[in-house]
Amino acid sequence: MLDMYRMFVVPEGKSGEKGAKMMVDLGDAMAREAIPFLGLGQKDRVIEIGFGPGIGLETLVKTVSQGTIVGIDPSELMHRLASERNKDSIVSGKITLIKGTVENLPFDDDYFNGAIAMDNMHFWNEPLNGLTELKRVLLPGSKLVCSFTPHSGGSKHGWEKLFERAGYVDFTLLESALGIRIVAKIPEISV
How big is the CA angle at 48 (ends 118 and 181), to the nearest 5 degrees?
30
Whether residue 117 contacts residue 138, with contact meaning beta carbons closer than 8 Å, is answered with: no
Share of the chain above pLDDT 70, in %: 81
Residues 16, 151, 173, 53: is their CA dihedral positive or negative?
positive
Enter the DSSP assignment of 53. T
Average pLDDT for 157-174: 91
Give the SS3 label for residue 109: coil
Instruction: Read off the pTM.
Output: 0.88
Give pLDDT, residue 191: 37
Q: How confident is the model at residue 20 (pLDDT cuts 50, 70, 90)?
A: low
Neighbouring CB atoms inside 10 A of 1's CB total 6
Q: What is the mean pLDDT of the chain?
A: 87
Q: How confident is the model at residue 7 (pLDDT cuts 50, 70, 90)?
A: very low
